Structure formats: C-alpha cells, structure tokens
Amino acid sequence: MLDLVIKGGTLPDGRVADIAIKGDRIVDVGPVTTPAARVIDASGDLVAPPFIDPHFHMDAVLSYGKPRVNASGTLLEGISLWGELRDQASVDDMVTRAVTYCDWAVSMGLLAIRTHVDTTPDHLRGVEAMLEVKRRVAPYLDLQLVAFPQDGLYRSKTGRQNVLRALDMGVDVVGGIPHFERTMDEGAESLRDLARIAAERGLMWDVHCDETDDPMSRHVETMAREVTRHGLGGRAAGSHLTSMHSMDNYYVSKLLPLIAESGMTAIPNPLINITLQGRHDTYPKRRGLTRVKEMQAMGIAVGWGQDCVLDPWYSLGTADMLDVAFMGLHVAQMTHPAEMARCFDMVTTVNAQIMGLSDLGLRKGACASLVVLDSGSPTEAVRLRPDRLCVISKGKVVSEKARNDSRLSLSGRPATVRRRHQP
C-alpha cells in the first residue's frame, strides 16, 4: 500500500506519468496501479521538482520600512539601514519574520533556501536566530546558512573572527564580499583567505562577488583562480557578479573560460540587481544583470536567486521563484521557448545542483518533494506564474489550493488563461 500517488501529471520533459510515494521517497515514476492511501488527480497539470532559492537574506526578510524606508534605493543605503536594524532586532523578532516567510515559501512550492546570515555584529544574534529557524522548519523546508561578513572580512574589526565563530556554531557555507573591502588588494586577499577556510573545513563557498557597476571590479577572476587552486569546483558559487555587465568584452572573453575551468557556479539575482544597479547612471542606464546566456554557453551552471523580500533593499517580493525567473528572462532576453524552459530549470534543478541537493528530482529513489502547478508546461508556468495546487515535502502534503474554476470566457469556450492567486 502506497501513501500517496500523484496521478496523470505532466512532467517538465513532457512525459505524462504517475508518481508513487511511500514514506519520504518516490518509489515509482510511470503507470502506477498499486493502491494508495491518497490519490491526487494532476491530469493536465504540471508536476515539477520543488522550487529552490540559492540566494536569500532571511535575517532581514519582512522588515521593510524599519528603521526607515530606503529613500535613495541604493545598495549602500540599504546596507546602512540594515546596519541599524540588525542591532535593534531581537532573536525572537528575526525568528518570527523568518518563519512567516518560510510559510509563504512553502505555499509557493519553494522548499530549499540558501540564506546569507550577517556575521558582522559581535552578538551574532542573526546566526543564533537563523540556526533556530533552520531547526524549526527542517521537517518541511531545507535551509542552508552562509556566514556572510556584510561589512567586510577585514574592513570590520572582528569580521574574520566572527565568520569563524559562526562556522563553529554550525553555519554551513563560507561567504565573502570582496568588493566591499577597503581596497582591491584586500578584496583579493579576502578571497584567498576564505577559499582556504572553505577547503580546510570541507565546506561550500558562496561569495557576494563584484556586486557593483564598476567594470574594473574583477574579483570574480581571483575567485575562479582560488576555486581552481583548491579544487572547490561544484561547491563554490559567485553571487551577483554584476560588474560583468559593464566589463570590456575583450576582458570577458578571457574571464569566462577561467570561470568555466574552475567549475564554480553563478547566481544572478534579477529582481534586486535590476533595481539596485545603475542608480548612479543618467542615460543610458545600465541594468546590472551579469552575462547569463554567455556563461551558460560556456557550460557554466547559472541559477536565479531571489535575494530579498520586503527588506531594506527591496520593497516587493512574494517568495515565488517564478517571479524571479520571469524577471530574469526579460532582463537577460531569454524569450525563445527553449530559453524560457531553461529559466524554469534554473529555479528548480539548476538551483538544486548549485546547493548540492542531489537527493531531489522526479525519479525513483529520490526524496518525495514536488509541486503541482495549474499550468501545462514549464514555459506556460513561467508565463503565467500560476497557482501551486499542491506542494509535497518529504512525502507529506504541506500546502494545497483549490483549483480556480472561475476562468473568464467571453467567447463561451473554456478559457485557457489561468490565473495566480496569492495565499
């Protein structure tokens, strides 16, 4: 007797199949005739692996307007506002905001998140809070924590020491922010230092790298070199990489092969970088997204990250990775159907690869985490960003939504336009 069967759904590759679940495992994908305690009819619906967000800041989530609204809309004013808020916020406040956000995430089929935790303040309340959140949501949502020295590894007096303290407390991933160190030299040295720490501890490494419009901010070159030197390929990611938008094309033609050689991955964050970058420009105004298609053409794994929801840097956000893919495909001009389908993969399977979540996928033996969407295909899902009808995490139904049957049909024929309804 099975626990659950998802019947007749369309998989992202176009196959129609049943998915059999027992315990927290997918035990079969194909025609399933074994009886089950529950059967969910997914005929005509897309059944996909869960959405994954490889770049987020959960210690700041849902704090928009505290202590003030970001008047200039810039990254630097956001950092300054956060610098005030992080010392005012209690552990309980951060836990409450983060757990609320995790509920939003689950309702959207977002079941794994990598969140950077600011390790700058000596009190490390953010680390304490996020470790507690990770423990609480573990039954249904996987959190990876990154030790993130927001004010610089060296620029902040205790920056390096606090990264090590956070890792000792159980934070999973080594962070970094080389473009925020005092000089280019110190930024490069921070990367050499952090790469050694990641290698010695056998940890993953994820760096806020070159999140600037300065075309001469070239820390990604040093990062790629250190990833190659220490053999960190596959477990190192460069987040943002926005300076690459403004770099000279000839230099980029040398840079991309170095990144590909290293095996490191890339995480652009289109919702945030389209709004934060180019703020010092008049016109033409740069859009600040890194070179997504060009990296993919070189074989570099590129996912889409969300970065922020209602915090000092961003006044919007829904926990919907399809919003992220939708913005990303516009800014990166990925409008071909194959590119739209790739954008869906980026927020599901590629992001899982970036985070090292090899247990996920719609295959026999994999963890039974998946989402049923009110759309017929990945490209339609990216276009409509439709309702998540059912979300299953580790074998358990964690969110359900009634199908919207009140579709408009002015012609009298069944309407084909599906709509999204917020929780």
- Nearest residue (CB) to Fe ion, 142 versus 307: 307
User: Judged by CB under 5 A, how many residues of this single chain contact Fe ion?
Assistant: 1
By beta carbon distance, the residue nearest Fe ion is 307
Contact 325, 382 (CB under 8 A): yes
Least Cβ distance, residue 43 to Fe ion (angstroms): 40
Strand 46-48 relative to strand 51-56, pairing:
unpaired
User: Of the ranges 222-230, 246-254, 303-311, 403-411, which one interacts with Fe ion (CB under 5 A)?
Assistant: 303-311
User: Of the ranges 229-237, 301-309, 321-329, 331-339, which one interacts with Fe ion (CB under 5 A)?
Assistant: 301-309
Q: H or E element: which one contains 383?
A: helix 378-384
Taking the C-alpha atoms of residue 199 and residue 232, their distance in angstroms, rounded to an integer, is: 7
- Nearest residue (CB) to Fe ion, 19 versus 129: 129
Q: How many helices (H) and strands (E) does the chain have?
A: 14, 15
- Nearest residue (CB) to Fe ion, 59 versus 387: 59
Inter-axis angle of helices 184-201 and 219-230, to 10 degrees? 30
Inter-axis angle of helices 91-107 and 125-137, to 10 degrees? 40
Least Cβ distance, residue 151 to Fe ion (angstroms): 14
Question: In sequence order, what are the residues at sequence separation of 6 or more whose Cβ sits closer than 8 angstroms to the Cβ of residue 301?
Answer: 265, 266, 350, 353, 354
Catalytic positions, written as ranges = 211
Least Cβ distance, residue 59 to Fe ion (angstroms): 11
- Nearest residue (CB) to Fe ion, 62 versus 392: 62
Residues 306-325 that bind Fe ion (CB under 5 A): 307
Taking the C-alpha atoms of residue 422 and residue 104, their distance in angstroms, rounded to an integer, is: 10
Q: Which residue has the tokens 């990166």?
A: 332
Give the CA diameter of the chain.
69
Taking the C-alpha atoms of residue 361 and residue 49, their distance in angstroms, rounded to an integer, is: 6
- Nearest residue (CB) to Fe ion, 76 versus 138: 76
- Nearest residue (CB) to Fe ion, 307 versus 323: 307
- Nearest residue (CB) to Fe ion, 74 versus 404: 74
* Phi, then psi, of 23 in degrees rounded to 5: 65, -130
Taking the C-alpha atoms of residue 80 and residue 185, their distance in angstroms, rounded to an integer, is: 24
Least Cβ distance, residue 330 to Fe ion (angstroms): 20
User: Of the ranges 44-52, 80-88, 302-310, 359-367, which one interacts with Fe ion (CB under 5 A)?
Assistant: 302-310
User: Of the ranges 61-69, 84-92, 300-308, 368-376, which one interacts with Fe ion (CB under 5 A)?
Assistant: 300-308
Least Cβ distance, residue 211 to Fe ion (angstroms): 7
Alpha-carbon dihedral of residues 403, 8, 379, 393, nearest 10 degrees? Answer: 70
Least Cβ distance, residue 239 to Fe ion (angstroms): 6
Q: Which residues of 111-149 are buried (b: 16+ CB within 10 A; e: fewer)?
A: bbbbbbbbbbbeebbbbebbbbbbeebeebbbbbbbbbb
Least Cβ distance, residue 137 to Fe ion (angstroms): 20
Interface map 348-387 toward Fe ion (x if CB under 5 A) = ----------------------------------------
Residues 5-64 that bind Fe ion (CB under 5 A): none
Contact 211, 75 (CB under 8 A): yes
User: DSSP assignment, residue 414?
Assistant: P
Interacting residue ranges for Fe ion, rule: CB under 5 A:
307
